[in-house]
Amino acid sequence: MLISTTGLGFGMARMYRARPQQIAHLAQAIRLLRQDIEFGQIPLISAVQRVGDSLPSPVSQVFTEIVDRLSKRCTAEEAFHHAVRHVGESTAMNAADFEPLLAIGSVVGTSDRSHLSMEIDSALIRLQGREAEAIEAQRKNERLWQYLGILTGLLLILVMW
């Protein structure tokens, strides 16, 4: 019982620890996507594929899913939404963290380059804010969940003794 509650506590702590890293990876992915689309002039599907290949899991899975959807003739907006809905849950990020990516998905392929560039700038700024907020949440909650897991296990053992 102690091992299982400790594991749960450490699992929650790991989620808080992973979130800022994953948001940073997402920001890096958006920067890479901008490079490939704006300067490399690579088609969207190849650009997303390259971004997915160059990032660590689980953020890369979101981009792999987008490629999968784009190859099935979905629009970019649908592909981004589908990927976030299906793969987003397996990451430590919440729905609001994916909003900047979805905003890019809604303009990519349907607007001109300057509009896309503005949207990417805005997304990166928003992601910076989300990352700062995630670091603050990590500082407050990581240790708390580790200790709470152990203490809850001890409490249950004592009550059932």
Partner 1 sequence: MSPEVRSIFQIFGVGFVVAMMNALLRHSGREDFAQWTTLAGVIAVLVIVIGYVDHLYQEITRVFLNTQ
Minimum CB separation from partner 1 for residue 151, in Å? 5
Kindly state whether residue 2 participates in binding partner 1, applying the rule CB under 8 A.
Answer: no
Q: How far is CA 121 from CA 2, 3, 85, 101, 106, in A?
A: 47, 45, 23, 11, 15
**Site for partner 1, residues 127 to 156, rule: CB under 8 A:** 140-141, 144, 147-148, 151-152, 154-155
Q: Are 145 and 129 in contact (CB under 8 A)?
A: no
CA-CA-CA-CA torsion sign (115, 113, 36, 90)? positive
Q: Which is nearer to partner 1, 85 or 143 (CB)?
A: 143
Query: Is the separation of the CB atoms in 156 and 12 below 8 Å?
Result: no
Q: Is 15 in the site for partner 1 (CB under 8 A)?
A: no
Q: Which is nearer to partner 1, 118 or 144 (CB)?
A: 144
Distance from C-alpha of 85 to C-alpha of 47, rounded to nearest angstrom: 21
CB nearer to partner 1: pick between 125 and 157: 157
158 binds partner 1 (CB under 8 A): yes
> Which residues in this chain contact partner 1 in the complex, by CB under 8 A?
140-141, 144, 147-148, 151-152, 154-155, 158-159, 161
